[in-house]
């Protein structure tokens, strides 16, 4: 499996940011009354859930929580006009 899914999800997030469809959870994060804090709170909650899943040895739940974190992290990056390619560049620099 490649990481193309990251590009696909990020493209959808950028689209939701641009068009703000009413029925979109992603769009609701961009228009939330708490602003960016709504996403930051989610990342905090999900980080705790990730730790608990690891501690419980629940690998299926671990993957689920990791995906929640990656999705919300991508939303946060989009809020700051940081792209998946910026993320890739940062990771590549560390090799
Ligand atoms: N990857 C995600 C994604 N991950 C999580 N979520 C939503 O994030 C919300 C909050 O997550 P939580 O983990 O708190 O959900 P929960 O049900 O309270 O608890 P859990 O059991 O899941 O931990 C839920 O409504 C999830 O549906 C996501 N919503 C959207 N996406 C992606 O964004 C795309 C566009 O979605 P819309 O914006 O809804 O059109 C989708 O096609 C997906 O690719």
CA of 90 to the centre of ligand 1 (A): 26
The predicted complex's ipTM stands at: 0.90
Question: Quick one: average pLDDT of 80-85?
Answer: 96
pLDDT tens column, 2-24: 669 999 999 999 999 999 999 99
Whether 41 and 34 have beta carbons less than 8 Å apart is answered as yes
CA of 29 to the centre of ligand 1 (A): 11
Whether 14 and 78 have beta carbons less than 8 Å apart is answered as yes
Number of domains observed in the structure of the chain: 1
Lookup: tokens for 77? 């990056």
Pocket test for ligand 1, best of 15, 26, 53 (most atoms within 8 A of CB): 26
Q: Is 9 in the pocket of ligand 1 (CB under 6 A)?
A: yes
> What domain range is 48 assigned to?
4-93
8/1 Cα distance (integer angstroms) = 14
Whether 89 and 49 have beta carbons less than 8 Å apart is answered as no
Q: What is the CATH number of the domain that holds 66?
A: 1.10.287.1080
């Amino acid at each position: 499996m490649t990481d193309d899914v990251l590009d696909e999800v990020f493209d959808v997030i950028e689209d939701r940011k641009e068009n703000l469809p009413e029925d979109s959870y992603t769009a609701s994060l961009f228009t939330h009354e708490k602003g960016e804090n709504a996403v930051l709170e989610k990342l905090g909650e999900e980080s705790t859930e990730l730790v608990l899943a690891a501690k419980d040895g629940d690998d299926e739940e671990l993957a689920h929580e990791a995906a929640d974190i990656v999705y919300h992290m991508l939303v946060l990056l989009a809020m700051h006009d940081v792209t998946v390619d910026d993320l890739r560049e940062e990771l590549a620099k560390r090799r």
